[in-house]
Amino acid sequence: MRNSTTNITRREAIKLCAGVGAGLLLLGTRCLHAGIPPSGQRAADLFSKTIPSSGEQIPVIGIGTARRYNVGTSAEERAPLREVLQHFVDLGGKMIDTAPSYGTAETVVGDLVADLGIRDQVFYATKVGAGGQGREAGIAEIEQSFRRLRTDHIELIQVHNLAGVNEMLPVLRDLKESGRIKYLGVTTTSPNQYEQLEQIMRNEPLDFIEVDYAIDNREVEARILPLAQDEGIAVLAALPFGRGRVFEAFGDQPIPQWAAEIGIESWAQFALKYVVSGHRPVA
Ligand SMILES: NC(=O)c1ccc[n+]([C@@H]2O[C@H](COP(=O)([O-])OP(=O)(O)OC[C@H]3O[C@@H](n4cnc5c(N)ncnc54)[C@H](OP(=O)(O)O)[C@@H]3O)[C@@H](O)[C@H]2O)c1
């Protein structure tokens, strides 16, 4: 039976939270102030969690590519992203969350990772959304992701916003069995899909889900996160800053003294620490 009162249980429940905004990692100072340790701090020092279905450990902070990685081919546009990716892996970071629907992001990530020679240091999480137009369209989109990411294996593919989920989960299971992907899952950031998400979590073997979760957007704490705990499903937190809404709420206020005392140096770090701690409302 689930213990509904302790934070320890809650923390253990959220085996993994990642999916951080790309802008977060774009600028050096933002990087340092948002939970990423300064240069010199290595992978062994990073806060990691366990993927329940495999026992694999992974650092809790990743890169999201939905907006900042949707750029063209010029060196000027790509240089800051290249620098971020190098810095990210130097620090021991692994997860890069992308999707075919993020404009050029998959291609940009694939090019930069190949160029930097860091493929074996990163964990690719991409998605399939074209399954909404049928199984074959979904399969074609997955094959396109392999080409764009310039790889013969992808760590995680998730059904994006549950599009064509009944058609695509068997396809993802086949890919997992053949070793082309390591994990599978589903995503949504729409509360009106939470009920369907819960049904899928109960009835399908999933390694991951990805849901919207931020300090000011905690609906998933009520049912989705406890269910993930019960089912042994890793959780990726999308939109940890609520697309910037969190910063508007904090405004110009200084960080409280008690937060500074536990090592929090910015509102970005404050927001991320909330998400990766895995809070649960006390009954
Ligand atoms: N259904 C799904 O699967 C789904 C849906 C949505 C998102 N996602 C994933 O979640 C990732 C994050 O989403 P997102 O980028 O849209 O939203 P987000 O991370 O919640 O918020 C991004 C916003 O926060 C600002 N920001 C980031 N770091 C900051 C810092 N240190 N200080 C001040 N402002 C900062 C950004 O500013 P700038 O504009 O200046 O960078 C931007 O306005 C996506 O890249 C994607 O991987 C998945």
Give pLDDT, residue 277. Answer: 85
Give pLDDT, residue 20. Answer: 35
The verdict on the CB of residue 172 being under 6 Å from ligand 1 is no
Higher pLDDT, 89 or 35: 89
Q: What number does the ligand 1 atom closest to the CA of 68 have?
A: 41
pLDDT at 17 over 50: no
Predicted confidence (pLDDT) per residue in 39-53, tens digit: 455 555 788 999 999
Give pLDDT, residue 238. Answer: 96
Distance between Cα 55 and ligand 1 center (Å): 28
Q: What mean pLDDT value characterizes the chain?
A: 86
Give pLDDT, residue 8. Answer: 29
CATH number of 8-277: 3.20.20.100
Give pLDDT, residue 170. Answer: 98
pLDDT at 21 over 60: no
Measure the CA–CA gap between 214 and 220, rounded to whole angstroms: 10
The verdict on the CB of residue 161 being under 6 Å from ligand 1 is yes
Give pLDDT, residue 181. Answer: 98
- 262: which 2 tokens? 């536990």
The verdict on the CB of residue 64 being under 6 Å from ligand 1 is yes
Give pLDDT, residue 281. Answer: 54
Q: Give me the residue spans of the domains in the chain.
A: 8-277
The verdict on the CB of residue 238 being under 6 Å from ligand 1 is yes
Distance between Cα 191 and ligand 1 center (Å): 18
